[in-house]
Amino acid sequence: MNAEEPSLTTLLLFFGLLICASAYFSSSETSMMSLNRYRLKHLRRNHHPGATRASKLLESPDKLIGIILIGNNFVNFLAASIATSIAISVLGEPAPLITAVVLTLIVLIFAEVTPKTIAALYPEKIAYPSSVLLIFLLKVLYPVVWVVNGVSNAVVRMLGFNSETDDSHQQLTAEELRSVVYESGERIPRRRQGMLLNILDLEHVTVNDIMVPKNEIAGLDIEADINDILDLIATSQHTRLPIYNKEINNIIGILHLRSTGKLIRIENLSKAAIINETTEPYYIPESTPLHTQLFNFQKKKSRLAVVVDEYGAVKGIVTLEDILEEIVGEFTTDHADSSKDIHVQNDGSFVIDGSASIRDINRALSWDLDSSGAKTLNGLLMEILQSIPDSSVGVELNGYYAEIVQVQDNVIRTVRMRTTHLYSDEEIDEDDEEE
């Protein structure tokens, strides 16, 4: 008995070491595959030693998996042999079923489930230190890995699959990048998250969505009296003013108010002198995406563009400030813009200006009005009704109820809106009957 006890102790110790080795290979595999690739690249650029080693191993995932599986299978098979020897020492004869059951439970708990769970929860803490031994083993056992991978890749090709490494699946799409920003949580402040998301939205928004419409353009009619023109220049809230001849479709130049300082020294100021200080108007099509127009402004060193439709008629103007506000939010100090288009009522409804942009309404109220067609609330209601309505007409808009309050000059001026889930159908019908 005394002669057998050291032998059994040695077998148990050796078996324990093999289970630890199996746990190492299992946790290494899970941790390596669970690493955040983008954080890994960031740490590698900052010369993090563990990230550098892990990145080198992941450049050849077939070799990495090969060395892990070779090591893991070797120690598992050796552990099975040792377990059989222990069973013979304890029971006196082979007990394959009992040995298999006990070995399976031990391997599952201590060499598979537990280490892999820890590795999945803390991949960097496991992967970076384990990469030292994996690189060493890969160098020592490279001939074996080369043979195993060669045969494996040949079988893969025979089955009709491509064995070449393709990193294209790791490249993020715009929608995936949006999800990454959303999931960043408190790592990125909410305001910066909003800016990043707004940048991604620029390619889906055109200048037609954010332009100042033609009827709201603040410009100067060169045919007006010179004193009226000077009064408009003196009281203008804008830095740049379109100069036109009789109507806005005949824009002859853009006047920068900074240039008007030169006009003070002219004794007999004339319209020709004002026109001389204007610059050539910059025209753009209404379908231009915002991200494209942002680069066009940068390329042309311009800050204002005139938006035209397919027939060349002026539809509005867009400025660099308008595009930047789509990213960072409004920062204008223009007193003319201080009046809000949306007014909250005591009953929970909103009185909204008919010229308000649908995108602005959706953004301000977190609504989901359709902005694929008409760009303003007036246009949306006109599109649905297909006629110029009278006041007090109610319209159902897929979850929203709009009551036209004022119509003037063939344009819907004021609308009272609310979400229909705040009111029952009976209440809406009663309102319609009373009106």
Q: Which residues contact 422 (CB under 8 A, 6 or more apart)?
A: 348
Identify the residue with better confidence: 333 or 182. 182
Which tokens in the block code for residue 122?
Answer: 């803390």
In the predicted model, what is the mean pLDDT of residues 308-313?
Answer: 90
Q: What backbone torsions phi and psi does residue 32 show, to the nearest 5 degrees? A: -65, -40
pLDDT at 126 over 90: yes
pLDDT band of residue 315 (cuts 50, 70, 90) is very high
Identify the residue with better confidence: 401 or 168. 401
In the predicted model, what is the mean pLDDT of residues 41-57?
Answer: 90
Report CA-CA distances (Å) from 350 to 324, 332, 390.
Answer: 28, 24, 19
Worst-scoring range by mean pLDDT, 2-6, 65-69, 144-148, 254-258?
Answer: 2-6
pLDDT band of residue 125 (cuts 50, 70, 90) is very high
Q: Which residues of 282-299 are buried (b: 16+ CB within 10 A; e: fewer)?
A: eebebebebbebbeebee
CA–CA dist 355, 359 (Å, integer): 12
Nearest 10 degrees: Cα torsion 404, 407, 411, 415? -30
Helices (H), 60-122: 61-91, 96-106, 114-121
Please tell me if the domain spanning 207-334 has the same topology as the one spanning 340-434.
Answer: no
Q: ∠ CA(379), CA(381), CA(386), 5° rounding?
A: 90
pLDDT band of residue 163 (cuts 50, 70, 90) is low
Q: What is the pLDDT of residue 258?
A: 84
CA–CA dist 30, 323 (Å, integer): 45
Report CA-CA distances (Å) from 246 to 33, 222, 226, 250.
Answer: 69, 7, 14, 7
Indicate the average pLDDT of the chain: 83
Q: What backbone torsions phi and psi does residue 342 show, to the nearest 5 degrees? A: -120, 125
CA–CA dist 384, 370 (Å, integer): 11
Q: Are 52 and 44 in contact (CB under 8 A)?
A: yes
Residue 146's CB is within 10 A of a number of other CB atoms, namely 12
pLDDT at 374 over 50: yes
Give the whole-number percent of the chain exceeding pLDDT 70: 88
Q: What is the pLDDT of residue 22?
A: 92
Q: Which residues contact 54 (CB under 8 A, 6 or more apart)?
A: 32, 35, 40, 127, 128, 131
Q: What is the pLDDT of residue 435?
A: 44
Which tokens in the block code for residue 22?
Answer: 């199996």
Q: What is the pLDDT of residue 114?
A: 93
Identify the residue with better confidence: 304 or 375. 304
Q: What is the pLDDT of residue 331?
A: 62
Q: What is the pLDDT of residue 133?
A: 92
pLDDT at 288 over 90: yes
pLDDT at 420 over 50: yes
Report CA-CA distances (Å) from 278 to 169, 230, 376.
Answer: 52, 15, 31
Maximum average pLDDT range among 124-128, 149-153, 337-341: 124-128
The domain locations on the chain are 4-165, 175-204, 207-334, 340-434
Q: What is the pLDDT of residue 357?
A: 84
Q: Are 118 and 27 in contact (CB under 8 A)?
A: yes
Q: What is the pLDDT of residue 434?
A: 46
Q: What is the pLDDT of residue 332?
A: 53
In the predicted model, what is the mean pLDDT of residues 224-231?
Answer: 87
Maximum average pLDDT range among 92-106, 212-226, 279-293: 279-293
pLDDT at 431 over 80: no
CA–CA dist 106, 347 (Å, integer): 67
Architecture of the structural domain at 340-434: 2-Layer Sandwich (3.30)
Q: Which residues contact 324 (CB under 8 A, 6 or more apart)?
A: 331
Closest of 124, 104, 164, 113 to residue 33, by C-alpha: 124
pLDDT at 4 over 60: no
Q: What is the pLDDT of residue 6?
A: 43
Phi and psi based region of residue 135 (left: phi greater than 0; alpha: psi -120 to 50; beta: remaining): alpha
CATH annotation of 207-334: 3.10.580.10
pLDDT band of residue 37 (cuts 50, 70, 90) is confident
In the predicted model, what is the mean pLDDT of residues 99-109?
Answer: 86
Identify the residue with better confidence: 390 or 223. 223
Q: Are 219 and 303 in contact (CB under 8 A)?
A: no
Q: Are 138 and 146 in contact (CB under 8 A)?
A: no
- Strands of 201-245 (E only): list them: 212-213, 220-221, 240-245
Identify the residue with better confidence: 208 or 431. 208
Q: What backbone torsions phi and psi does residue 247 show, to the nearest 5 degrees? A: -140, 155
Q: What is the pLDDT of residue 25?
A: 93
pLDDT band of residue 131 (cuts 50, 70, 90) is very high
Single-letter residue type at 29: E
In the predicted model, what is the mean pLDDT of residues 63-82?
Answer: 90
